[in-house]
Amino acid sequence: MIPLLRHIFRTGILTETTPDAEGSPQREIDRLHDEILRILGRALTIREVDAGSCNACELEVHALNNPYYNLEGRGIKFVASPRHADMLLVTGSVTKNMENALRIAYDCTPDPKLVVAVGDCGCNGGVFGESYATCGAVENVVGVDLRIPGCPPTPLALMQGILAAVRKSR
Amino acid sequence: MFLCDDTSIEFTPQPGIGAPVWRGRAPSGEDLRSFAAAVHLAGGRIAAIWGSDSRQSGGGFRLHCVFGIDQGHAWLSLDLPADDPVYPDLSGIFPAANRMQRATRDMVGIASEGGDQRPWLRHGGWPADWYPLRHDSVREAGMGEGFPNAPTDYEFVQVGGEGAHEIPVGPIHAGIIEPGHFRFSVVGERVLRLEERLGYQHKGVEKLFIGADIARGAQLVGRVSGDSTCAYAWAYADAIEAACGVTAPPRAQMLRALLLERERVANHIGDLGALGNDAAFAFGLTQFFALKEQWVRLNQQLFGHRFLMDRIVPGGVVVDVDAAGLSAIVEQCTAIGAELAKLRILYDEHSGLQDRFVTTGIIDAALARELSMSGMAARATGILLDGRVHRQGYTPPPPYATLGVRPATDERGDVAARVAVRFDEAFESLRLLRQMAVGMPAGDTRVDVAPVPGAAGLGVVEGWRGEVLVGVQFAEDGSLARVHPHDPSWQAWLALEHAVMKDIVPDFPLINKSFNLSYSGADL
């Protein structure tokens, strides 16, 4: 136990502030956090749905919870059920085999809900486009509030997109 | 010849410097079947199966089977008549052939005689008598090509008896992972049987390759499985270069290996953290994910992409690294290696963690061989099979032939073994990266590649999960007629079904993560 605690102590806090175009970064995050709380009455919860990605977007969504970005430390967390979610974060050029599952997840998410399309595939179909096997952009299947392009988008882009979606919904 | 003495099939070695491949043509289905049986008897594996449509050039259909043998890979093709494209069922010899055969039927419409005929990749998004990879299957572009999406039921194998019941999981899973369906048959918490239904990630990537040029193909192949983008890009480049008769310059070969080893370390570190987390040890996730972030940030800084997508291309690589970059790599390897060594001690000495890891999700070497497994999970049963390593009759492709890779194995076959192999392989990759940085040859990083009409090639690369294969065939107009990427997950998904059988449902996430298989790579 002692070596473990020593390791934690030695690692220290790695979390970085999020750069933002307007004003001081930390104050901006705090302000957004307050805004999220005011809008939703609680912390933001996200259900991530992979509707046909290559898994690269998922790797970057994972990275959001590493100590450098520490999304959960800002009250934004990923949940297992769409019924517990305020936001759907959808990746992939929606495959026909996932089309139904995505619709069901969308219907299970309580209103008011936000849908964010992640990655070039989610935004416009990406390299896979529309075909016999794919529906293309997420907005071809469910309504989308915000798009975060990139192949894959960086964790920073994801973070800024998630915050922008909340701000936009006001 | 050398492959097995009692066959009439003639094999010729594929030109080029990639992993050794021999090509042959089976005169009949019976020859294919008996060759497969001989390979099985000699301890070989089925590495991949796919089909192609050659009716446009006056033929019928063609079945391609790649076998893993001592000396490398044997790529056997069998011509099938256009009006009755059937071939002998190989799943009785190699169980791993089952899903590959079903996928081949769904995609090209050539079927095995007998055996399991349930659809695999087709869930009802297109009609049963329409085959995406046939040349005459073109319909006007647009959403869903106009087919109604009518999901079909799947006939899972039922388990009966008092108290037996089913737990359906997916396609959307609880975590941030790819979609797939798992059907558990359980009594109480004990798993009696797991049957997977995959195909949810089917993006029709194989059809997109048809008619594409080399550059568009490279873009697609790098997105077959995003966590293995370097392995796929390299295997594709090897296949194209073998077909076109070009050789990447020595500096490009070394840079490819450098990128591939960086990909291996990134994935092993990430999974080691996730494995800690799945055993309720959040410390592991935080620590390893911090190291992974540092790792991919240097990727971004030196190579312009966190996961190194689109850096390896046919002809060479599109990136280069200067002396300062190489020394940054050496420094990082030393620093990350020191952290990993400390974390390994913490993992090894944490009784709660070891209690979850040890004896959980066991597969033995005999089963791994029977399922034609390759890669990290196979090595964690004690099988010494690594495409980067010399073995009797096999010389690894450059630059691995001269790097002297030390393979990692563990005979326990449980989660703990897969954790141990990941640690060992990460350390070995760090050592190799330092070695490569010091011995980086000078010279060009890329040569021009011109398509050779009608030519074909097969590339094989030892990715972090296992053996990644890409088969390539050019059309007469120099465009790509057919590209088939094969992920090692095809075989390993079967091992997962076996690994959970003696364990309880709550152990499944941990066992699953210890393999961390690709959905996208196998769903295509």
pLDDT in tens, B362-417: 999 999 999 999 999 999 999 999 999 999 889 999 999 999 999 999 999 999 99
Q: Does residue B105 lie within any of the structural domains?
A: yes
Q: Does residue B18 lie within any of the structural domains?
A: yes
For tokens 């088939």, the residue is B484
Q: Does residue B524 lie within any of the structural domains?
A: no
Residue A33 has pLDDT above 70, yes or no: no
Q: Is the Cβ pair A97, B201 closer than 8 Å?
A: yes
Query: Both B414 and B441 in a single domain?
Result: yes
Q: Does residue B150 lie within any of the structural domains?
A: no
Query: Both B193 and B218 in a single domain?
Result: no
Q: Is the Cβ pair A3, B519 closer than 8 Å?
A: no
DSSP A153: P
Which of B132, B205, B229 lies nearest to residue A128, judging by beta carbons?
B205
Domain count, chain B: 3
> How far is residue B291's CA from residue A139's CA, in Å, rounded to a whole number?
36
Q: Is the Cβ pair A152, B307 closer than 8 Å?
A: yes
For tokens 């494995």, the residue is B275
Give B-chain residues touching A60 at CB under 8 angstroms.
Answer: 306
Neighbours of A45 (CB within 10 A): 17
The burial class, CB within 10 Å (0-12 / 13-18 / 19+), for B95 is: middle
CA angle, corner B369, sides to B261 and B407, nearest 5? 30
Q: Which amino acid is at A56?
A: A
Interface A–B counts its CB contacts (< 8 A) at: 169
| Least confident residue range of A73-87, A117-131, B376-390 | A73-87
Query: Both B242 and B390 in a single domain?
Result: yes
What does the domain layout of chain A look like in residue ranges? Answer: 25-168
* B139: closest chain A residue by CA: A132
* B295: closest chain A residue by CA: A63
Q: Is the Cβ pair B123, A66 closer than 8 Å?
A: no
Full domain range(s) for residue B449: 205-514
Q: Is the Cβ pair B179, A50 closer than 8 Å?
A: yes
Find residue A49's DSSP bridge partners.
A90
Cβ neighbors of B466 (< 8 A, separation 6 or more) are B373, B374, B375, B376, B377, B378, B488, B491, B492
Query: Both B176 and B221 in a single domain?
Result: no
Query: Both B285 and B176 in a single domain?
Result: no
Among B203, B205, B204, B181, which Cα is nearest to B194's? B181
pLDDT digit string (tens) for B237-246? 999 999 999 9
Q: Which CATH class is domain A25-168?
A: alpha beta
- When the pLDDT of each residue in chain B is averaged and rounded to a whole number, the result is 93
Helix (H, G, I), strand (E, B) or coil at B262: helix
Among B307, B344, B322, which Cα is nearest to B464's? B307
Residue A26 has pLDDT above 60, yes or no: no
pLDDT at residue B136, rounded to an integer: 79
Query: Both B193 and B210 in a single domain?
Result: no
Structure tokens at A82: 């769409």
| CATH code of the domain in which B55 resides | 3.30.460.80
Give A-chain residues touching B152 at CB under 8 angstroms.
Answer: none
* B133: closest chain A residue by CA: A132
Residues B108 and A79: beta-carbon distance below 8 Å: no
pLDDT digit string (tens) for B229-239? 999 999 999 99
Query: Both B177 and B238 in a single domain?
Result: no
Q: Is the Cβ pair B283, A99 closer than 8 Å?
A: no
For tokens 């309504």, the residue is A143
CA angle, corner A137, sides to A136 and A139, nearest 5? 130
pLDDT at residue B115, rounded to an integer: 86
Query: Both B241 and B303 in a single domain?
Result: yes
Q: Is the Cβ pair A96, B289 closer than 8 Å?
A: no
Give B-chain residues touching A50 at CB under 8 angstroms.
Answer: 172, 176-179, 201
Count, residues in chain A: 170
Q: Is the Cβ pair A133, B177 closer than 8 Å?
A: no
Query: Both B174 and B244 in a single domain?
Result: no
DSSP string, B115-174: S----SS-SSSS-TT--TTSGGG----SGGGG---------PPP--STTEEEEEE-SS-S
Q: What percentage of residues in chain A have a pLDDT greater than 70?
A: 84
Query: Both B240 and B319 in a single domain?
Result: yes
Task: Spell out, as residue ranges, where chain B has pLDDT lower than 70.
Answer: 1-7, 138-145
Give B-chain residues touching A81 at CB under 8 angstroms.
Answer: 174
Query: Both B78 and B51 in a single domain?
Result: yes
Residues B222 and B310: beta-carbon distance below 8 Å: yes
Query: Both B470 and B386 in a single domain?
Result: yes
pTM metric for this prediction:
0.94
Neighbours of B372 (CB within 10 A): 28
> How far is residue B144's CA from residue B149's CA, in Å, rounded to a whole number?
8
